[in-house]
């Protein structure tokens, strides 16, 4: 999701929940994303996962941002859409069960995403996984080509 505020682009990114990065802020944020289910179209999966991860409804028109391959080998497909959200609205993320500490036999429920927000290009790239930076660059090119920014 993106918005234009006073003519400047801001992108919506999310911080992963769970026990691993509660205070880490740089290089781990992500676009809301997830797994494509068997027989599911990638855009349909993206809309579903956006709702599951942050509790917001994605609505087009959509800008196809292509795909990237993350360091772990996962291919991520992305679409952008213009939307709005106020921080005070909060997010509603699905939860995942994680054994923590690892090997302890103790399981806890964690939100998949623990916080999210709109950031300008520079701030978003500081926080975002490096492999996902091309999505921001592609969005900027698409919006400049359409003369939106």
Q: How many domains does the chain have?
A: 1
Domain that holds residue 126: 2-145
Residue 116 corresponds to which tokens in the numbers above? 């999210």
- Tens-level pLDDT at each residue, the chain (149 residues): 999 999 999 999 999 999 999 999 999 999 999 999 999 999 999 999 999 999 999 999 999 999 999 999 999 999 999 999 988 889 999 999 999 999 999 999 999 999 999 999 999 999 999 999 999 999 999 999 998 87
Q: What is the CATH number of the domain that holds 27?
A: 3.90.79.10
Residue 57 corresponds to which tokens in the numbers above? 């409804």
Per DSSP, the chain holds a count of helices (H) and strands (E) of: 3, 7
pLDDT for residue 148: 83
For 142, the enclosing helix (H) or strand (E) is helix 133-145
pLDDT for residue 64: 97
In sequence order, the β-bridge partners of residue 77 are 67
Find all residues with CB under 8 Å of 133, minimum gap 6, and list them.
Answer: 125
For 107, the enclosing helix (H) or strand (E) is strand 107-111
């Amino acid at each position: 999701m993106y918005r234009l505020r006073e003519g400047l682009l801001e992108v919506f990114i999310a911080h992963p929940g769970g026990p691993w990065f509660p205070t880490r802020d740089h290089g781990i944020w992500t676009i809301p994303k997830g797994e494509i289910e068997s027989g599911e179209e990638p855009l349909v999966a993206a809309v579903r996962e956006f709702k599951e991860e942050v509790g917001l409804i994605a609505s087009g028109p959509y800008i196809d941002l292509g795909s990237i391959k993350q360091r772990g080998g996962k291919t991520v497909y992305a679409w952008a859409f213009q939307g709005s959200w106020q921080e005070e609205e909060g997010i509603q993320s699905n939860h995942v069960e994680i054994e923590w500490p690892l090997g302890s036999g103790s399981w806890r429920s964690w939100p998949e995403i623990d916080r999210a927000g709109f950031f300008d290009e520079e701030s978003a790239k500081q926080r975002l996984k490096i492999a996902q930076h091309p999505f921001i660059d592609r969005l900027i090119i698409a919006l400049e080509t359409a003369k939106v920014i």
